[in-house]
Amino acid sequence: MEEYTGSKYEGDIKNGRMEGKGTYTFPTKTRYEGELLDGMFHGQGTLFFPNGSRYVATWKEGRAIEGKYTFADGLEYEEEDWEYCDGYDRRFYTEICKGLKPAGRSQLTNRIPPREIPASCYDTGDGFYNPNTRVIVDYNLKFLRNADDDEHDWIVKTCRKGWDEIVGYRENPADKYIKSNTNSSKTSSN
């Protein structure tokens, strides 16, 4: 089967299927290292992505039950209360760790120089997304996947666009709350 899919497997085999511990490499060069059962990821295992990021997870019958995604720069994704690089604080992880650079050209991405995005597309971090076709292609323009509604919404809201757009200042709702409480405590103490 490997010769048909372009994938590669090295590891334990039982009854002609991947079972035990092994390494499965996808044609995209994403690599899974860990436990397998009846040809599926099952138990503890890690996906290593070509860009240097990784996903350490507990798997059951080919599906991740629980896991942790770590970006190539060491930033760990938090599913709850994710505030990294949002509309109110656009700093990149490298800027958070090493501080902002002196005045000059803005850092548009964690990659320097930033990747050029095709017109009307978004940079998803693993490729480009065209919202008209809802297709994500890798940086060599090879098909990766179709975006579902949730991923589409996230990309359009969060990812870097292939065009310039003036967004202006957005006040953080938390700052607004703090200001209103600070002002009300000043007036009540007078």
Strand order in the sheet with 54-60: 8-14, 17-25, 31-37, 40-48, 54-60, 63-70
Domains and CATH numbers, the chain: 1-79 (2.20.110.10), 83-110 (no CATH), 115-161 (no CATH)
What is the per-residue pLDDT for 72?
83
Q: Is the pTM of this model over 0.75?
A: no
Task: Specify the residue for token string 């991923």.
Answer: 151
Question: For 102-139, what is each residue's pLDDT tens digit?
Answer: 776 666 676 767 789 999 999 998 899 999 999 999 99
